[in-house]
């Protein structure tokens, strides 16, 4: 699996990238999008939504199934990827880049430290397959 080294992961397969301003960008892992198959719809969360860690916050639908996405940490949604409305397949073609789903301001600066690093996530994804 090709996993960028700067990411953290939730057990529910969301990835998190810490941005320079302390916010985070969130998407779903390459493993998760491969399991789902071709995405046909992404429902992003509303900007300014306040959520708890592990709260259902968005939905992705594929030709196989619909799946909830969860907030990896507690915080406030500050942006959503509007490009996914017309191009949900961006999640399939570039899950760690243009296929990001939303951005958050975490309630706690070090909240993402509790998430898995790339090596732990790879082992988790392998055991989940």
- The pLDDT tens digits for 13-56 are 999 999 999 999 999 999 999 999 999 999 999 999 999 999 99
Per-residue pLDDT averaged across 98-109, rounded?
Answer: 96
Domain limits of the chain? Answer: 7-128
Q: CA 44, CA 46: separation in Å to the nearest integer?
A: 7
**pLDDT score at 3:** 87
- Fold entry, domain 7-128: OB fold (Dihydrolipoamide Acetyltransferase, E2P) (2.40.50)
Summarize pLDDT for 51-94 with one digit per residue, the tens: 999 999 999 999 888 999 999 999 999 999 999 999 999 999 99
Half-sphere exposure of 7 (CA within 13 A, CB side): 25
Average pLDDT score, the chain: 94
């Amino acid at each position: 699996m090709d996993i960028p080294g700067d990411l953290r992961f939730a057990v529910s397969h969301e990835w998190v990238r810490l941005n320079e301003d302390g916010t985070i960008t969130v998407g779903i892992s390459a493993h998760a999008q491969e399991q789902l198959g071709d995405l046909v719809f992404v429902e992003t969360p509303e900007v300014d939504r306040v959520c708890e860690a592990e709260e259902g916050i968005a939905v992705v639908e594929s030709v196989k199934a619909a799946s909830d996405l969860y907030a990896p940490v507690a915080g406030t949604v500050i942006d959503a990827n509007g490009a996914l409305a017309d191009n949900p397949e961006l999640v399939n073609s570039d899950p760690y880049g243009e296929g990001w789903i939303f951005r958050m301001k975490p309630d706690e600066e070090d909240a993402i430290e509790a998430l898995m690093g790339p090596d732990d996530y790879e082992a988790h994804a392998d055991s989940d397959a």
